[in-house]
Amino acid sequence: MNQQLAHIAIVVDDYDKAIEFYTQKLHFELIEDTILTETKRWVKVKPKGSNECCLLLAKAANDEQKSRIGNQTGGRVFLFLYTDDFKRDYQNLIDMDITIIREPSHEEYGTVVVFEDLYGNLWDLIEPVLPQGSI
């Protein structure tokens, strides 16, 4: 059996505002923006260099969905972004005035900082510790 996650939906209030944040501030790639109806689009973004799962930016369509914007996990870290250069990407967060929730720390699994996106969803930026013997 072979399975993989394809997309993770993140509820947003405005497609264009979300696209701007993820592409201009986090430097993700816009990989699709298809108009489905007058009010619905199929919008996917992904970190540069990633060929796996991407984010599906899903505009809230009712009050219940709107209530979840920025708090899809009840205040826990929602998404985990791995990097090959923590210093570069942490400096980008600072340069882009992205809110840092927990300052960088060195953990047994790697170097990590917690930041929030434009809606308040919490993210971990992690440069993982490479297993011994790997390059």
What CATH number should be reported for the domain holding residue 125?
Answer: 3.10.180.10
Task: Say yes or no: 61 and 94 in one domain.
Answer: no
Range of the domain at 86: 71-135
Position 47 scores a pLDDT of 96
Give the pLDDT score at 130: 78
pLDDT in tens, 124-133: 999 999 775 5
- Quick one: 61 and 84 in the same domain? no
The 8 Å CB, 24+ separation contacts for 38-46 are 41/15, 43/15, 43/18, 43/19, 44/7, 45/19
Distance CA 42, CA 134 (A): 38
pLDDT > 90: percent of the chain? 88
The count of structural domains within the chain is 2
Instruction: Using the predicted structure, report yes or no on whether residue 89 has a pLDDT greater than 60.
Output: yes
pLDDT of res. 44: 98
Query: What's the pLDDT tens digit per position in 37-74?
Result: 999 999 999 999 888 899 999 999 999 999 999 999 99
What is the C-alpha to C-alpha distance for residues 62 and 57, in angstroms, rounded to an integer?
15
Domain boundary among 34, 69, 104: 69
Structural domain ending residue among the three candidates 47, 69, 91: 69
Which of the four pLDDT bands, split at 50, 70 and 90, describes residue 2?
confident
Answer whether 0.85 is exceeded by the pTM: yes
In the three-class reduction of DSSP (H, G, I as helix; E, B as strand; rest coil), residue 63 is classed as helix
99 and 56 share a domain?
no
pLDDT of residue 101: 97
For residue range 95-122, list pLDDT tens digits in order: 999 999 999 999 999 999 999 999 999 9
> Is residue 10 over pLDDT 60?
yes
Note the pLDDT of residue 133. Answer: 53
